[in-house]
Structure 1
Amino acid sequence: MSIGNVSAVLVHGAWADGSSWSKVIEGLKAHGINAVAAPLPLSSLHDDVAALDRTLERIEGPVVLAGHAYAGAVIGSTHADNIKALVYVAALAPAVGETVGDVFYRGEAHPLAPKLSPDRHGLIWLPEEAFAAAFAQHASAQELTVLGAVQRPISASCIGEAVGRPLWKDRPSWFLITEQDRMISPDTQHFMAQRMNARVHSHQVDHTPIVTAADAVISVIVEAVQAVSVH
């Protein structure tokens, strides 16, 4: 199996869309790796897994599946046969019976973390000022403008649904820990990565390195692709 046969499927988290992976997609292409950004409705964990499965059905050959933040729960809840490895980028990895909320709120919140609550439609929006304060504090003004403009709300039901047996128990996994994360506690990330027995890469980056430190993300995904390509 050559590296060119392995595709990367990239899954966005809450308050984002597939465009958040733009730099990573371009960087992977330079390494000869085709990438597809899977769109999620963010309406429920069940809906999001179903949407991811529809994307995976369209991919021929082996896949390295990468998820950012909330999407860690989504990539851990699919069981598509063509997935060969998982890459968690500051991502939440609930274990059997846990919810996204259980792991998200496990650690002490950063002082600059936003206070989150659903609106009358049951949707949680990220306050505009939180993009610069906590979501991507290392982003440029232009990047922050785009992140705020394309944000998609997440349904409160996404974070309250318990997961089954996660795929990381059955596939090799990588974890990029974001040590300057103000959204998901770095301590929580270390806890999850250790519990998963993941191959850890730790960087002094913010919560959204897919935008602000793309090279670090690209290198981890390339490493995972190369690892599964030798088998």
Structure 2
Amino acid sequence: MKNIIITGTSRGIGYELALEFAAAGHQVLALSRKQPQALLENENISCLSIDLSLEEDLEKVQQFIASTWKKVDILIHNAGALLLKPFGEISAQEFENIYKVNVFGVANLTRICIPYLQKGSHVLTISSMGGIQGSMKFAGLAAYSSSKGAVITLSELLAEEYKEKGIAFNVLALGAVQTEMLQEAFPGYEAPLNAKEMADYIFDFALNGNKYFNGKVLQVSSTTP
């Protein structure tokens, strides 16, 4: 049984992951602003209503770990904020808000968890193909895709910094998955994979990928977008 933190559990991939890990007998801490009833009612899932952009909210996570778990085996950064807007029309505040969730939220939550991670722990960041250097880019996603590129580099750096402690940091850069966020970015597009199918892949990688990879960015994409 492992202690697993997952962000962005209100819908889509994060929601499916929380249920899948709980069904396998693991203890899950589900972090999102809204909490679905199915997660609240699951005996293996603890829910915290968290805005990742607020450091004071993240302190609730530290208090929970210190008082309840004492250790974290897997941390999955799945949450993401999306903005679809021409670059010239994006305000400085809007750009910053995307980075507060997608980059600073990842960094701050990781920092909180570091004292509770140990040899064999796995920190997995869910990024996007839009954040991969040289990949196809799409107009209107300047804030989102650049933020996803930032967390890729952050993960590579943390893998180097904590390799002597046996803590692995990896990134899965996802292509198109049929989620509400995909529909916001590409209205009408139909992806070949649904949230449950991608969650199945991430479930296995989170549990076992750190045996084979550290500091790596794996492109999990069958289509573009």
TM-score, structure 2 length as denominator? 0.45
More helix as a share of residues: 2
Query: Which protein has greater RCO, CA pairs closer than 8 Å, 6+ apart?
Result: 1
